[in-house]
Amino acid sequence: MNIRVGTGFDAHAFGPGDSVALGGVRIAHSHGVVAHSDGDVILHALCDALLGAAGLGDIGQHFPDTDLRWKGVASERFVTAVREMLRQHGYVVGNVDLTLLAQAPRISAHREAIRENVARLLGLEATGVNLKATTTEYLGFIGRAEGLAALATVLIERIAAPST
Ligand code: MG
């Protein structure tokens, strides 16, 4: 089978700060996120979806939060590295569907910028990336605005044999 699917989930707690990174786009907010890297839930969920689709484990195996190399880094670096891993295994990304779960911040004004940035990171047309956003109607940790989360689903296709 040359077509494979993967899913990813990530969540982070809000903490001190004045902005959050979402899909590699910095968005002003009343809080930052508590994280080893920049805590970009969209890009973390995306990396897990890509790794899952390729059968390559998860983000924590490849970029452990005990490794000082990843402290405070922009999560775009994880996406770039994962994309390269997939390329080495002969895969290209077909499309990406992302869902942000957050009571705040609202991202409607940033939706296209995030979509375009994720597409750029993956070498896709913007139409290859969809971004949805939902609140949880004030339910749970997301609804209480204690943190935010993201889901990602990706389709990848093997177009070449793995390079060794
Ligand atoms: Mg994370």
CA of 64 to the centre of ligand 1 (A): 11
CA of 39 to the centre of ligand 1 (A): 5
In the structure encoding, which two tokens stand for residue 122, read together?
């993956």
CA of 153 to the centre of ligand 1 (A): 16
In the structure encoding, which two tokens stand for residue 21, read together?
């990174």
Rounded to an integer, the average pLDDT of 101-109 is 95
CA of 127 to the centre of ligand 1 (A): 25
CATH topology of domain 3-158: 60s Ribosomal Protein L30; Chain: A; (3.30.1330)
CA of 114 to the centre of ligand 1 (A): 17
Q: Which sequence spans correspond to the domains of the chain?
A: 3-158
Q: Give the Å distances, CA to CA, from 142 to 28, 103, 109, 126, 149.
A: 18, 6, 20, 28, 8
Which amino acid does the sequence have at 24? Answer: G
Residue 28: what pLDDT? Answer: 96
d(C-alpha 31, C-alpha 18), whole Å: 5
Mean predicted lDDT score pLDDT of the chain: 95
> Does residue 1 carry a pLDDT above 80?
no
CA of 66 to the centre of ligand 1 (A): 13
CA of 161 to the centre of ligand 1 (A): 31
pTM score, whole prediction: 0.96
**What's the alpha-carbon Rg for the chain, to the nearest Å?**
15
CA of 1 to the centre of ligand 1 (A): 30
Alpha-carbon dihedral angle through residues 8, 13, 17, 20, given to the nearest 10 degrees:
20
Name residue, tokens 């995030």. Answer: 114
CA of 34 to the centre of ligand 1 (A): 9
Residue 71: what pLDDT? Answer: 82
Residue 111: what pLDDT? Answer: 96
> Does residue 164 carry a pLDDT above 80?
no
Residue 105: what pLDDT? Answer: 95
Rounded to an integer, the average pLDDT of 95-116 is 96
